[in-house]
Structure 1
Amino acid sequence: MAETSYDVIVLGSGPGGYVAAIRCAQLGLKTAIVERELLGGICLNWGCIPTKALLRSAEVLLLARHAKDYGLTLAGEIEADLAAVVKRSRGVAKQLNQGVTHLMKKNKIAVHLGDGVLTSPTSLTVTGEKGAEKLSASHVIVATGARARDLPFAPADGKRIWTYRHAMTPSEMPGKLLVVGSGAIGIEFASFYNDLGAEVTVVEMLDRIVPAEDAEISAFLEKSLTKQGMTFRTSTGVEALVADDSGVTATIKGPDGKASEERFSHCIVAIGIVPNTEEIGIEKLVDLERGFIQIDSYGRTKSKGLWAIGDCTPGPWLAHKASHEGVTAAEAIAQELGTTEVQPHPLDRSAIPGCTYCHPQIASVGLTEAKAREAGREVRVGTFPFIGNGKAIALGEAEGFVKTVFDAGTGELLGAHMIGAEVTEMIQGFTIGKVLETTEAELMGTVFPHPTISESMHESVLAAYGRALHI
């Protein structure tokens, strides 16, 4: 079997893998990418993007149902056509998949479709429609991502027990839906199906929903979604899940230790991820912790020439983190291969924003107030409600607030936490501020445009120092 050689081979074409490949090609490296399914990986095809397409349909539905609040009259009752909503979402995913295919051609990146298995740190065999191919390179980047974690006693069947992937292409509309887990994925699908008319119950083992967020954000979100009709059970676990032709019977154990059986039409399991590091020949080449590949801040593993990025490495498990790691690894590889024009920077995990696209939206970056205090920081905290923001009121979206956390001594921006309309588009302002090592002085001195919801960001900073103008 003839062997094809490259400077860099990327195993996996998700938002980490394909971005790494493009950056390698931009730096003049002969690059190949190996993908077993669809270019773009989970994010473009089954994750971030098609999910947002679904949520956009739900958002438009909600706006239409509240047309009278905006002085508008609908000719008739508006209804959700689930099949059409899903079809639109799949069309968006297909368009982006084709876009990645174009980017591979544009950047002259060789694409090998099939299952890749490492035979050494810098070589692998790809088995696909063309049979078996041997590939080698000076460097290999593993970007194999992750998949949804099943409940050990009730694996997803795609009929009554779903993962996010099944929930994106449902064969029928759930009547009474159980969502296990209240992280970003669980809450987004809970919000989507609730908006479309399902009766939704969310079960969370910890004492509050979206537990990674600031406690005030969690409390506000639970109150808002409860008002929208959802039911939440925190400090609660699912002990058993039995599916049959007509639904699912769940044994749910509450905080009092008592268990009861309840009936649902469907269940979405959103309890985390499992890294795709099995059966790729990597076990003896890297250090693994719970299946995740251990790397340095540039993506290097313990084997020379072998790198890893994205969801198969330690978290946070976010597409934009994977893409950033891909660029960092590509530039570090180019530097090792003699390119002098690049100066790769290690990933700063404290400046990675997180976004959840329920209604209202959530966005955050940096430390929560509790984490800052646990770290021994004396803090100043500012909060500004959307009800004090003219643009939010004009949009009919006055529900929400912005919270900022500063070091009381230095003025360092430690964290920012937001809930409400369009906050996922605004969080980048605070993220840039953290990267630039901004203090409260620069943020106070910045002119924010009017009328925008982003003025709430400015006001929250002012509030931390007793200078808020509109509350």
Structure 2
Amino acid sequence: MARETDLLILGGGTGGYVAAIRAAQKGMKVVIVEKDKLGGTCLHRGCIPSKALLRSAEVHDTMKKSAEFGIENEGGFKVNFSKIQERKQAIVDQLHQGVQALCKKNKITILHGTGAVLGPSIFSPVSGAIAVTFDDPEVEEEIIVPKKVIIATGSTPHTLPALPLDEEMILSSNGMLELEQLPESIAIVGGGVIGVEWASLLNSLGVSVTLIEFLDRLVVNESKSISKELKKSFEKRGITVKLNSEVVSAEKSKKQVHLKIKDQDDVVVEKVMVAIGRKPNVNKIGLQNTSIKYDNKGIQVNEFYQTAEGHIYAIGDCIDTLQLAHVAMKEGEIAVSHMLNEAVEPINYVNVPRATYTNPEIASVGYTKETLPENRKVKMGTFNFNGNGKALITGGDLGFVEVIRDEETDDLLGVSIIGPHATDLISEASTSIYLDATPLELGEAIHPHPTLSEAIQEAALDTYKMAIHK
């Protein structure tokens, strides 16, 4: 017997469960099909656990500098990685319980199984019925017939033919989170957000890190000046950074991995992490039974996340947009609003805030100098954290803020930050762009003193050559 519902969401990750809650709040009867745990990659294998580890690394960095603050620690201290992992897992478990409670509160039905989209059948004259199979062989397959569907199946780590993952010596980010002890040395292949975050935290915890990037700079989605500053900071900390470097093979012995680098010396390490991005989960979910268009970049959708089958939507990492948790959340909310015929504005992806939790942190919103449209006349404003009182007080005086102003329209086009608490500070800039504030309005708003936010104020004013402390 087929079960009917208003909305079925295939995948209970960040985008899926947020869409489910929003739909339930609007009065829809909602079913989530999730084969693993609610919260998905972000909660269990991405954003949350990695940031918990980064926080432990940050505490270790602070302790190593305690003498600078007049706090002497003659007895010394050591890293207990098991306890770091226990703390990480406790945070994940608490948040997981919270997501489960939210779904229960909103009367969302959770089916723990694997879902596949069916084509037209005896259950429905159009594509969109979902066949749900369960791990328990004694539980029969169930057919759900929803009025609307949201596909939110997420993504999985990508790798290279030269670096086959075994999650023991050659690991993805998934395998890294399951480490029971820290290696003495590691090579991280990929200098994007995931790679540089892991390089930062492992170096802080005492691991010898070699960071290998195929392109000519790290974090290529940020401005070149920020890439340069991050590289300089990493090398000062003892991280070996290899740019324009291609890994051609990996040979494993009992305790080491020999990486062959094109036209360079071999790199020999205890473990290798592959951090070259993630691929959308679009196979084995029944899309071939529909007219939905998809490829290795993901499912094709319109600006409201409708697929070629108008009653089926797709959001998050399984479509070709920014692979960020907060993006998936917003896409889910927009998809629900659209299917309910509510007025909704599409996302301007340029103005989505981006965050990298290295030490120093990186965050940006809007354009960078490198991504500006052609023929745009702009003024740049900058301010260094070594001129900011709060940064000096906290010992985090590395880095700077960049602000871009449109000369003709006076619009705030972009803000980039590398420095202390950049990932928190960027929200002011993001809100300013959303509210169409000018850099002058951002700069003339009173900022409390002493705070790190004054660096944004000064950089905004610097686009008019009006900065006070520069």
Deviation at 1:259, TM superposition (A): 4.0
**Residue 460 of structure 1 contacts residue 468 of structure 1 at CA under 8 Å; is this kept in 2?**
yes
RMSD of aligned alpha carbons = 1.2
For 2:291 and 2:112, the matched residues in 1 are separated by 23
1:437 aligned partner: 436
Amino acid at match of 1:136: V
1:221 paired to 2:220 = no
SS of the residue aligned with 1:371?
coil
- Pick from 126, 131, 147 the counterpart of residue 125 of structure 1: 131
Deviations 1:265-299 (A, max 9, x none): 10000001110111000134311132401111111
Deviations 1:409-467 (A, max 9, x none): 11111111000111100101111111122222321331112111001001001111111
Structure 1 counterpart of 2:239, one-letter code: M
The aligned residue for residue 325 of structure 1 is 331
In 2, the alpha carbon distance for the partners of 1:384 and 1:333 equals 45
Offset of 1:316 from its aligned partner?
1.0
Q: Which runs of 5+ in 1 are unaligned?
A: 336-341
The equivalent residue for 1:347 is 347
Match for 2:278 among 273, 276, 301? 273
C-alpha separation in 1, matches of 2:267 and 2:274? 16
CA distance in 2, matches of 1:76, 1:297: 59
1:300 aligned counterpart, secondary structure: coil
Pair 1:119–1:409, CA change in 2 (3 A): same
Identity %: 37
What's 1:314 paired with?
A: 320
Please give the residue correspondences for 1:141-290 in structure 2 after superposition, counting only pairs within 5 Å: 141-253=150-262, 258-283=263-288, 284-290=290-296
Contact 1:167 1:189 in 2 (8 A): no
| Separation in structure 2 between the aligned mates of residue 154 and residue 389 of structure 1, nearest angstrom | 44
Q: Secondary structure at the match of 1:384?
A: strand
Confirm or deny: 8 A CA contact 1:36 1:113 kept in the other structure.
yes
For the pair 1:392 / 2:391, whether they are aligned, the reply is: yes
1:63 deviates by 0.7
Determine helix, strand or coil for the equivalent of 2:101: helix
Specify the code of the residue in structure 2 equivalent to 1:189: W
CA distance in structure 1 between the aligned counterparts of 2:350 and 2:153, rounded to whole angstroms: 24
Once the two structures are overlaid, the 10-residue window that deviates more, 413-422 or 165-174, is 165-174
Q: Which moved more, 1:380-389 or 1:84-93?
A: 84-93
Aligned 8 A contact 2:443 2:456 in 1:
no
**Matching residue's letter, 1:204:** E
Deviations 1:7-31 (A, max 9, x none): 0000001110000000000000001
Alignment correspondent of 1:89: 88
- Any stretches of 5+ residues in structure 2 without a counterpart? 120-126
Amino acid paired to 2:443: M
Distance in 1 between residues matched to 2:142 and 2:253, nearest whole Å: 44
Work out the CA distance in 1 between the residues paired with 2:77 and 2:383: 35
Shift of 1:232: 0.5
State the distance in 2 between where 1:6 and 1:463 align. Answer: 56
User: Does the residue aligned with 2:320 lie in a helix, a strand or coil?
Assistant: coil
Distance 2:340 2:140 in 1: 31
What is the distance in 2 between the residues matched to 1:386 and 1:158? 40
Superposition deviation, residue 94 in structure 1: 1.2
Aligned-partner residue type, residue 251 of structure 1 = K
Query: Hey, what's the Cα distance between the residues in 1 that align with 2:214 and 2:235?
Result: 18
Moved more, 298-307 or 441-450: 441-450
CA distance in 2, matches of 1:381, 1:439: 13
Shift of 1:124: 0.6
